Amino acid sequence: MGSVEGLDGCVVPAVHPEKVLQATANAPGADELGRVSAVFKLLGDPTRARLLYALLEAGELCVCDLAAATSTTDTTVSQALRLLRASGVVAGRREGRNVFYRLSDAHVRMLLDVTREHITHDPKSGAASVTEATS
Amino acid sequence: MGSVEGLDGCVVPAVHPEKVLQATANAPGADELGRVSAVFKLLGDPTRARLLYALLEAGELCVCDLAAATSTTDTTVSQALRLLRASGVVAGRREGRNVFYRLSDAHVRMLLDVTREHITHDPKSGAASVTEATS
DNA sequence: GTAACATCTGTGCAGTTGATCAGATGGAGG
DNA sequence: CCTCCATCTGATCAACTGCACAGATGTTAC
């Protein structure tokens, strides 16, 4: 059994050192990883996801319409949008008393599309057995 | 102000009914939305994300190597993998005493890639101002 | 069989999160 | 100026989530 220097500089045992090195070499740093998981976490809430899919379909909606489209209160919508706006996922445009929101990034649009495709085209759900080799 | 029949059949007020209808028409159903956000939630944890990026780089790793590569304990890794496996994100292959895991879906690989790209190519972080119109 | 190793599984606790309520802000119209 | 309306904000509370510990399972070698 070999050993590999971990991310924290501490030496940890490893069964397959080369593989571990290969994994750590191009791995995202702590900062990058934090940002990545932050984005996923934002999309990981059903309420926020519903808002984003609504925006994906309609293009641009104000808070009250988003509340209507997702069957929630304007307060809940506003709070969700605050987080999404803080991460640059959505952008707002003020027009009179209304603020219209829209998806502000093509990447996010792609994430929403790909994942929906992933869900609808995969039987999944049933856990994959350990013994099964889905090569 | 018009009114629109919400997802729950309850009639809710709306400022722009057509837009709301457009948003609700192709919106994911409750079940589909649940699955989608469940996937995002899985990727939204830094520990799990780190494991997935390690697998993305190395292709296939056993539990102890994953623990080494991500500087965590084997227990934590095993627990995280349980969830990932239950949703079909990763798949395991037993070889003697070791169980080798890998990403089981091309969609997930794409999600990881796209998001990392999104992060590295975007200044982001600074929230978009409400008054700004980035059209 | 027994020992050693890799992995998996419950349980308990700390930290985090999302919905709700009440109230503040800010533009539009009289 | 004052009111109405859309939106935003801060505080509180219940629910959830991930990690650590201890122990169970299963596999290989003797």
Residues with CB under 7 A from strand C: A 1, 15, 41, 45-47, 72-73, 75-76, 79-80, 83, 94, 96-97, 130; B 62-64, 74-75, 77-79, 81-82, 92, 97-99
* Residue B48 CA distance to nucleotide D23 C1' (Å): 25
The helix or strand, by DSSP H or E, that contains position A135, with its residue range, turns out to be: none
Q: What is the pLDDT of residues A17-71, one digit of tens each?
A: 787 888 998 889 889 999 999 999 999 999 999 999 999 999 999 999 999 999 9
pLDDT of B13 strictly over 60: no
Cα–Cα distance, A128 to A126 (Å, whole number): 6
- C-alpha radius of gyration, chain A, whole number: 21
Pick the CATH number of B39-118 from 3.40.50.720, 3.30.470.20, 1.10.760.10, 1.10.10.10: 1.10.10.10
Nucleotide nearest to B42 in CA–C1' terms: D17
Q: Residues, chain A, total?
A: 135
Specify the CATH number of the domain A36-118: 1.10.10.10
Q: What is the pLDDT of residues B25-55, one digit of tens each?
A: 888 988 999 999 999 999 999 999 999 999 9
pLDDT of B1 strictly over 70: no
Q: What is the pLDDT of residues B84-102, one digit of tens each?
A: 999 999 999 999 999 999 9
Interchain CB distance below 8 Å, B10 and A45: no
Interchain CB distance below 8 Å, A22 and B57: yes
- Band of residue A16 on the pLDDT scale cut at 50, 70, 90: confident
Q: Is the dihedral of CA B15, B16, B17, B19 positive or negative?
A: negative
Q: Which of A21, A56, A118, A134 to mutate to test the interface with B (most CBs of B within 10 A)?
A: A118
- Find all residues with CB under 8 Å of A43, minimum gap 6, and list them: A49, A52, A108, A111, A112, A115, B37, B40, B44
What pTM was estimated for this model as a whole? 0.84
- Tell me the percentage of chain B whose pLDDT exceeds 70: 79
Give the start-to-end residue ranges of the domains of chain B. 39-118
CB B69 within 8 A of CB A27: yes
**Which residue's CA is nearest to the C1' of nucleotide D21?**
B75
Q: On the CB side of A21, how many CA atoms lie within 13 Å of its CA?
A: 7
Interchain CB distance below 8 Å, A85 and B118: no
Nucleotide nearest to A98 in CA–C1' terms: D6
Question: What is the tally of helices (H) and strands (E) in chain B?
Answer: 6, 5
